[in-house]
Structure 1
Amino acid sequence: MSDLLGSVWWLIVSIGVLVTFHEFGHFWVARRCGVKVLRFSVGFGNALWSRYGRDGTEYRIAAIPLGGYVKMLDEREADVPAADLDGAFNRKNVWQRIAIVAAGPLANLLLCVALLWAMFVIGRNDYSPTLGFVEGIAAQSGFRAGDTLLKVGERDTPTWSEAAMALTTAALDRAPVDVQVREADGDQVVRKLDLSKLPASFEEPRAVQLAGMTPRHRLMPPVVGQIAPGTPAYGVLAEGDRLTAIDGTAIVAFDDIRPLVQKLGDRGGTGMVEVQRDGERLALELKPARSTDPDGKAYWALGVAPPKTQQMPAYDAKLRYGPLAAIPAAFSETWKLTTDSFAMIGRLLGGRASVENVSGPITIARYANASAQLGPAWFLNFLALLSLSLAIINLLPIPVLDGGHLLYYLIELVKGSPLSERAMAAGQYVGLALLASLMGLAFYNDILGLVR
């Protein structure tokens, strides 16, 4: 229940902030173009609070906090007294109307930059882009455990989040990509990751895993969580022991234990198992015993298993800039995210990306709650992405959206006169149908995600 309430709360906060800022963009430019604004509402429905400013605008907080709107004086909506005609939106020239409509998405774009700047100044905790386990395509391409990813293509990857995003984006194009890495010994090399070998169809969130890369922080620590009675480890090892080496070979992750135990068993005799226990280093003699898995396959075992529940390790990287350095970084990141977003739209339209990438309010709420739990910097990063998405979606040339109105005004510029009321009404119906289809797809993906 706490997750549900948290998701609802952070969704309301996110949408409230972003839509209010969007509508403020329309409001601010409309006022400067001489348009009379009748109402600026945060939320929809009945007013919980309202007051009239000296400018004659009603400022309102409404009962339904999912959005907001700006109501302007317009002859197409109601009769306008002759004395107020100069302040009507429809009486403004086409360039002023374009400026007023474009101001909403532009406000979200500027908010994205501001939020990213704040995120960079605060500093976003993350993990180092260091590989802990390599197999498959990555191993064939020459990658090794201990490699730190410095750049994927032309994208710098200071943390694992940036590296994972860059690799996933490259995977969608299924083409080889140059990856600059720093090896464990400090040498820097460029390796070509052949992503063309990925399956023809794959789950995009698993692209990095399918390429054969597991980051170091995702490896299960070699800590003993359970010991089976009657096995070689019973009475020798203890729960909480951290295995550091077997037969002289260092252990980094729990997955390293099994192959080393197989080698020890095949060699025969006892081996030395080194552990850390209560701050002390111990060397214990153990001899693996033969066991069989559920399929009847024989293997050597010590009788240890990892803890039933695993905690994520402490962050070992931080994406942070000073207040001045964060300014160009915020603009650069906004540009990168914008180009990535339009590229993704192109991939969706071209069938190179799954429509499962289209998310609705349920998914947004879940991510809002998850990012808020990770701290202020992660939540600011999430808000920046959502603000940019709101700007881009509103600029799509779909009637009923800002982009649709801008399309009407561009046509007006070309033909020298406004579109007819009939043509605009027809466009509105088409826009509503397209928007309903998009929302239906988003809700479907949301529900499918919950079921999965």
Structure 2
Amino acid sequence: MSEYLPAFLTTDGLLIGTIVPFLFVLTIVVFVHEMGHYLVGRWCGIGVKAFSIGFGPELLGFNDRRGTRWKLCAIPLGGYVKFVGDMSVTSKPESGEDDNLSAAERKVAFHTQPVWKRAATVFAGPLFNFLLTIAVFTVLFSAYGRYVMEPTVAEVRAASPAANAGIQPGDRFVSVDGQQVETFSDVQRIVSGRGGDPLTFVMMRDGKEVTVTATPEMMEQKDALGNSVKVAVIGVVNNEELGQPRLISYSPGGAFVQAVSETGHIIERTGQFLKRFVVGREDKCQLGGPVKIADMAGKAAQLGFVWLVQLVALLSVGIGFLNLLPIPPLDGGHLAFYAVEAVIRRPVSERAMEAVYRVGMILVLAFMGFVFWNDLFGC
């Protein structure tokens, strides 16, 4: 037995090398998400019964002076905030439970609040995820700046989409698909998620603008963590001579602006990926669940703490985006019902909500099963 301990306990082992980084990343993302719900709920005057990191049996916890139970539970794959009167998946008291609430409890119960307070409380979870990503990027840009290269072409791969479109060495990208570009990474960002889509490229050549059309093709590459990923490329390469790499330093304000922009790009790319995935135009192996996240956390930890923090930022914005999808029981599903309620000026019937929630739950469970299958067998 003892001969297995080094492999389990060393920094390259399962516990310290993978499980600990995974729990670090996931706990921060979940804590920030739930703290968004909690803080805005408290600000709206809603009572909170419990704040939990994880599900299942409680491992440790305490009650604060307001009566909220703060606890850490055994299954670390999520968390929740339980508001007063919030007893079912539809955020309403279950049959008979409403009668058990005292007058004071009814005053601060979730379901008795105006629709805007309920919506703000629900939206706050994903919002705090986005703010976490912005905060991380702001710190990183302030501390390390950002390396950029000019959007120029040093080489064109033979028989590539770029070559077929007539792009030549020495050309400079002006815009891609109508979006102005300033750096070579801007070009990569736009192209990488558009495999199979004809894109219009405006190139500067000998002082004149030339417009060409190229269709990016999918290519398997290794990302910074060593994972195999499929990205769209057109087959051009930059180099130091033409790219003139330089480091951009940011003031705190400038870092914040750049962080907001970077977060916006990630949200846009995530939405683009999901739309293409639904119609079968993205590789299913790009989606993974807890096992894949744990593997990425372990690899990031080996590269250093900064890489691990970057993974926190990327996972946080992903969790925030997914939670805004209008599918019950996700936050976006609640928000969709509140939007309907605001329009018709009355709550959606309990029967209709429960029917939609059943369908939504099936979809969520199917998605979870899909990513678990990818983790363990599919990819």
Determine the structure 2 residue equivalent to 1:306.
Answer: none
- Residue segments in structure 1 that go unaligned for 5+ positions in a row: 218-251, 253-315
CA distance in 2, matches of 1:436, 1:60: 25
1:368 and 2:297 matched = yes
CA distance in 1, matches of 2:40, 2:198: 45
1:397 and 2:330 matched = no
1:118 and 2:139 matched = yes
| C-alpha contact (below 8 Å) 1:398/1:404 kept by paired residues | yes
Determine the structure 1 residue equivalent to 2:120.
Answer: 99
SS in 2 for 1:324: helix
| C-alpha contact (below 8 Å) 2:157/2:236 kept by paired residues | yes
| C-alpha contact (below 8 Å) 1:138/1:193 kept by paired residues | no
Name the amino acid aligned to 2:25. Answer: S
Out of 125, 135, 148, the position equivalent to 2:158 is: 135
Q: Deviations over 1:265-288 (max 9, x none)?
A: xxxxxxxxxxxxxxxxxxxxxxxx
Determine the structure 2 residue equivalent to 1:196.
Answer: 215
Name the CA shift for 1:328/1:202 in 2 (closer, same or farther; >3 Å): closer
| Aligned-residue offset at 1:97 | 1.1
| C-alpha contact (below 8 Å) 1:112/1:388 kept by paired residues | yes
Name the CA shift for 1:133/1:415 in 2 (closer, same or farther; >3 Å): closer
1:44 and 2:63 matched = no
| Aligned-residue offset at 1:104 | 0.8
CA distance in 1, matches of 2:371, 2:235: 30
**Number of equivalent positions:** 344
CA distance in 1, matches of 2:303, 2:239: 20
Percent identical: 34
Name the amino acid aligned to 1:58. Answer: R
SS in 2 for 1:396: coil
CA distance in 2, matches of 1:176, 1:164: 13
| Aligned-residue offset at 1:410 | 1.9
| C-alpha contact (below 8 Å) 2:285/2:378 kept by paired residues | no
Name the CA shift for 1:61/1:179 in 2 (closer, same or farther; >3 Å): farther
| Larger deviation, residues 352-361 vs 120-129 | 120-129
Q: Deviations over 1:361-400 (max 9, x none)?
A: 2222233333344444443333222211111111111111
Name the CA shift for 1:443/1:66 in 2 (closer, same or farther; >3 Å): closer
SS in 1 for 2:251: coil
Out of 28, 31, 40, the position equivalent to 2:42 is: 31
1:168 and 2:192 matched = yes
| C-alpha contact (below 8 Å) 1:134/1:145 kept by paired residues | no
1:337 and 2:266 matched = yes
Q: Deviations over 1:323-350 (max 9, x none)?
A: 2211111122222222222222332334
Q: Deviations over 1:295-329 (max 9, x none)?
A: xxxxxxxxxxxxxxxxxxxxx76565232211111
Determine the structure 1 residue equivalent to 2:282.
Answer: 353
CA distance in 2, matches of 1:142, 1:341: 31
CA distance in 2, matches of 1:120, 1:189: 35
| Aligned-residue offset at 1:179 | 6.1
| Aligned-residue offset at 1:188 | 7.7
SS in 1 for 2:193: helix
- Residue segments in structure 2 that go unaligned for 5+ positions in a row: 1-6, 87-92, 222-228
CA distance in 2, matches of 1:426, 1:413: 20
1:301-312 matched pairs, under 5 angstroms: none
Out of 67, 70, 77, the position equivalent to 1:56 is: 67
| C-alpha contact (below 8 Å) 2:156/2:163 kept by paired residues | no
Q: Deviations over 1:64-91 (max 9, x none)?
A: 3332211111071543223322111111
RMSD across aligned positions (CA): 3.4
CA distance in 1, matches of 2:68, 2:284: 42
CA distance in 2, matches of 1:97, 1:55: 20
1:196-345 matched pairs, under 5 angstroms: 196=215, 198=217, 205-208=229-232, 211-213=234-236, 318=247, 320-345=249-274
Determine the structure 1 residue equivalent to 2:29.
Answer: 18
Determine the structure 1 residue equivalent to 2:77.
Answer: 66
Name the amino acid aligned to 1:109. Answer: F
Determine the structure 1 residue equivalent to 2:4.
Answer: none
Q: Deviations over 1:210-262 (max 9, x none)?
A: x3345659xxxxxxxxxxxxxxxxxxxxxxxxxxxxxxxxxx9xxxxxxxxxx
| C-alpha contact (below 8 Å) 2:219/2:232 kept by paired residues | no
| Aligned-residue offset at 1:189 | 7.5
Name the amino acid aligned to 2:124. Answer: A
| Aligned-residue offset at 1:132 | 6.1
| C-alpha contact (below 8 Å) 1:43/1:67 kept by paired residues | yes
CA distance in 2, matches of 1:447, 1:195: 37
CA distance in 2, matches of 1:43, 1:355: 28
CA distance in 1, matches of 2:278, 2:309: 29
Name the amino acid aligned to 1:45. Answer: G
